[in-house]
């Protein structure tokens, strides 16, 4: 099979695994298991806790000892087993533990998916900036397909969503061992203890531009999962006001417009990075988050449906211009010997510390604006929009980076 198609299938399954439950598990926990906001937020926060430790750890393993594709496959097989166990648990403590363990092995696969793709494309002589986004877009398509399957089959509020994810994860785990080898980069240089442990990726903090970049990656990472955590529950709360609305009956399908938008904006990343550079692209992403949350605050599934749709469209720009562009920027700035560790570090800041703080605080915000079981969603969404607005004001003042249109081309070499 052509290497592009093999990578497309890998990216498709990677995000199919995630899309099977990420958007719908919030409604399942709120409406079926009757968890409180802080409990739902804390379970989503397990991804943040895991991302603080395991992406960097598994990145080190892939950089130093074991082929990246093998680490990737093992993680998915273990994750599939844990999700099967999670499907049978209904208490908070039990589900929290299983989702935490699942996060420990799943979150590293996002960075490893990128690393394996980059290494294989590089070996085959492809231009990563040009050729990776059209491959990565199939990951988003996989995410959408999983969401649609769960929604149309009526599994939004059912533990069966875990079975779908586990099946795809097991398949991907086996498939990963069939990918071209991505061995650690061997070096004849004598390594220090820090280098041997893979901690040399942290030398990126010595560069002022990278330190500031990672700080804002952490702060913006706090916003990444908020709408995934509460979006489905938000739409479900309109069931009394708009009982027959499409967005209420098929919340996953409405939210999937966000992922469809991702597929389009991913394809624009090479142009925007070359034309404007990482600073402007990140700034666009931050203000897109302001609009994302703000439109949620004034929209509804009835007369305000167009506002929600517009918010879904904007999400593609908000997510991709930060997450994918940031990964490519880190790939350009990091030495080849620490690229997997560097991707793990990026994951640590965004989906790790940032996501953990974002999920914990957002859960408290939801509970704060909940009175007698009724959530004041407008105040909730406007609070998140205000947070993103502050980041948008501070970022261009702090991150001083001169764009070199030719520099991003070096990612391919």
Domain extent listing, the chain: 3-184+197-412
N-terminal to C-terminal alpha carbon distance within the chain: 24
| All residues at 6 or more sequence positions from 374 whose CB lies less than 8 Å from its CB, including other chains | none
| All residues at 6 or more sequence positions from 50 whose CB lies less than 8 Å from its CB, including other chains | 100, 103, 104, 106, 107, 352
pLDDT digits (tens, 9 = 90+) for 172-201: 999 999 999 888 876 555 555 455 444 567
Rounded CA separation 267/131 (Å): 10
Q: Which of 183-192, 319-328, 330-339 has the highest mean pLDDT?
A: 319-328
Determine what percent of the chain is predicted with pLDDT higher than 70.
93
| Residue 269 scores a pLDDT above 90 | no
pLDDT digits (tens, 9 = 90+) for 107-162: 889 889 988 998 999 888 888 878 888 898 899 889 989 999 998 898 988 999 99
| Residue 343 scores a pLDDT above 90 | no
For residues 4-43, b (16+ Cβ closer than 10 Å) or e, as one string?
bebbbbbbbbbbbbbbbbbbbbbbbbbbebebebbbbbbb
| Residue 42 scores a pLDDT above 80 | yes
Q: Tell me the two tokens of residue 116.
A: 């394996």
Task: Please report which confidence band the pLDDT of residue 413 belongs to, taking 50, 70 and 90 as the band edges.
Answer: very low
Rounded CA separation 293/299 (Å): 10
Dump the DSSP string for 387-412.
Answer: HHHHHHHHHHHH------TTGGGGGG
- Mean pLDDT, to the nearest integer, of 67-89? 95
Task: Please report which confidence band the pLDDT of residue 388 belongs to, taking 50, 70 and 90 as the band edges.
Answer: very high
**Choice among 59-63, 121-125, 165-169 with the minimum mean pLDDT:** 59-63
Fold of 3-184+197-412: Growth Hormone; Chain: A; (1.20.1250)
CB 49 within 8 A of CB 167: no
Closest CA to 234 of 333, 365, 114: 365
Rounded CA separation 375/371 (Å): 7
Q: Facing residues of 370 across strands?
A: 375
| Residue 411 scores a pLDDT above 50 | no
- Which is more confident, 104 or 194? 104
């Amino acid at each position: 099979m052509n290497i592009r198609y093999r990578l497309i299938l890998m990216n498709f399954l990677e995000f199919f695994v995630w899309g099977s439950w990420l958007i719908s598990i919030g409604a399942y926990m709120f409406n079926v298991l009757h968890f409180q906001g802080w409990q739902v937020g804390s379970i989503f926060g397990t991804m943040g806790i895991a991302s603080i430790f395991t992406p960097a750890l598994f990145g080190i393993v892939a950089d130093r000892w074991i082929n990246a594709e093998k680490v990737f496959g093992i993680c998915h097989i273990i994750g599939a087993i844990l999700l099967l166990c999670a499907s049978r648990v209904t208490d908070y403590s039990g589900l929290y533990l299983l989702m935490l363990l699942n996060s420990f092995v799943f979150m590293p696969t996002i960075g490893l998916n990128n690393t394996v793709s980059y290494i294989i494309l590089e070996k085959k002589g492809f231009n990563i900036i040009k050729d990776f986004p059209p491959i990565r877009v199939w990951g988003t398509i996989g995410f959408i397909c999983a969401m649609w399957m769960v929604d149309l089959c009526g599994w939004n509020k059912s533990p069966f969503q875990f079975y779908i994810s586990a099946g795809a994860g097991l398949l991907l785990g086996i498939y990963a061992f069939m990918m071209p080898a991505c061995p650690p980069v061997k070096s004849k240089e004598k390594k220090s203890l820090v280098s041997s442990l893979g901690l040399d990726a942290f030398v990126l903090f010595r560069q002022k531009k990278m330190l500031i970049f990672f700080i804002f990656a952490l702060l913006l990472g706090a916003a990444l999962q908020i709408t995934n955590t509460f979006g489905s529950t938000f739409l479900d709360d309109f069931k009394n006001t708009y009982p027959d609305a499409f967005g209420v009956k098929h919340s996953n399908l409405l939210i999937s417009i966000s992922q469809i938008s991702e597929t389009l904006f991913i394809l624009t990343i090479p142009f925007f990075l070359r034309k404007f550079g990482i600073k402007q692209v990140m700034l666009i992403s931050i203000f897109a988050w302001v609009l994302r949350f703000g439109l949620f605050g004034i929209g509804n599934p009835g007369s305000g449906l167009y506002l929600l749709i517009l918010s879904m469209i904007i999400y593609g720009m908000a997510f991709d211009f930060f997450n994918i562009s940031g990964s490519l920027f880190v790939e350009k700035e990091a030495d080849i010997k620490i690229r997997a560790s560097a991707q793990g570090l990026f994951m640590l800041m965004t989906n790790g510390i940032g996501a953990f703080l974002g999920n914990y605080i957002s859960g408290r915000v939801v509970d704060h604006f909940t009175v007698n079981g009724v959530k004041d969603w407008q105040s909730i969404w406007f609070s998140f929009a205000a947070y993103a607005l502050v980041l948008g004001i501070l970022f261009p003042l702090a991150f001083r980076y001169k764009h070199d249109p030719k520099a991003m081309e070096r990612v391919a070499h």
